[in-house]
Amino acid sequence: MGVAVARRERLLRLLHRDGHVDAEQAAVTLGVASVTIRRDLRLLADQGLVTRVHGGAVTLDDGPADRRTLALRIGMLTPNSNYYYNEVLAGAEAAAARAGCRLVYATHGDFAVREGERLRRLLELDLDAVIMTTGYEQEDLAETMARVDGCEIPVVLCERWWEPPHLRQPRDRIGSDHRTGAVLGMQHLYGLGHRRVLLTSPPTATSPMVRSGALLATEHQPGASLVDDGDRLGYASDNSPIHAEILERIRSDRVTAVLVHADKHAAQFARYAVAHGVRVPEDVSILSYDDVTAATEPIPLTAVAPQKRLIGSRAVELAIERVRDPLAPYQAVSLVPSVVVRASTGPPP
């Protein structure tokens, strides 16, 4: 018999003996967290064995005659709620509404301390599952993994691919196949005739996959070469000299197209290039990655577009599936981005 099953049987014995159970007192008696007891009581109520009341549960005979199954409560913790994740959240909210679930949302801003604090506060809300987009900094990795491992409720990792041995046990995962997304973006440029492409990508969780995909596509394109400018553009402001340096490198290396991650940096560079006499796309094509604001730029940017809303929707569905069937095989769902062609890419000069 599993530990959880044995604990629920003890709860049922306490209920039959006393006619009611207080979640806080039961937590002390059984030596577990009160959130664990509340989750057990909700599961027993869903099975028709007890009736939930404020603070605990009572036997069926003592509960209201029109007892209804409580809606699932799912937490969601991401780096932000504006750029990129606003669309992920929109997809999650739509899926939660369809399923009759309540979605509770928080952000951590990629700060490890805040991530831990926000997760703790979410877990205090008696959730049934939590969807997490963790931080990605290597110096915080052990702390992040410990937080995920410490969750007693189902966890769905969103846009993060952590797995054993980083984690003690598998977790359901949903995210973008950014490597293939970059391959598709580069194939778009190579299909237009470009053979020298400059890549610039800031240090984010997505960057290694974008870089890997760009390199892979280049290896499979005869006569093509990739100029990797590293992550400098990620630190550039609108009038930064970095833009001038990259523009000079484009000219000296005879680059005809640029892949920029993400939209903000692509838009800044496009504005700078046009202001300094460079025609887009006649002189240089610009391909952005993320497709959050790309369509609204003065020159609408061709962009690699992750399936952000669908990722949020499937994350909620995975959480619901895990709550309903804790023993089901773990899933790793990878969604391939698409390329949205706009005005910023064309044949090389």
> What CATH number does residue 161 fall under?
3.40.50.2300
pLDDT at 201: 93
Those residues whose C-beta lies under 8 Å from the C-beta of residue 3, and which sit 6 or more positions away, are none
Q: Is residue 346 part of a domain?
A: no
CA nearest 184: which of 216, 160, 161? 216
Q: What is the CATH number of the domain that holds 52?
A: 1.10.10.10
Residue-range definition of the domain harbouring residue 196: 178-306
pLDDT at 62: 47
Q: Is residue 79 part of a domain?
A: yes
Q: How far is CA 237 from the centre of its chain?
A: 26
Cα gap 230→162, rounded to integer Å: 24
pLDDT at 70: 46
Q: Is residue 67 part of a domain?
A: no
β-pair type (285-289, 302-305): parallel
**Contact at 8 Å (CB) between 127 and 98?**
no
Same domain membership, residue 205 and residue 122: no
pLDDT at 53: 66
Low-confidence ranges of the chain (pLDDT < 70): 1-2, 53-55, 58-70, 138-139
Q: Is residue 344 part of a domain?
A: no
pLDDT at 66: 34
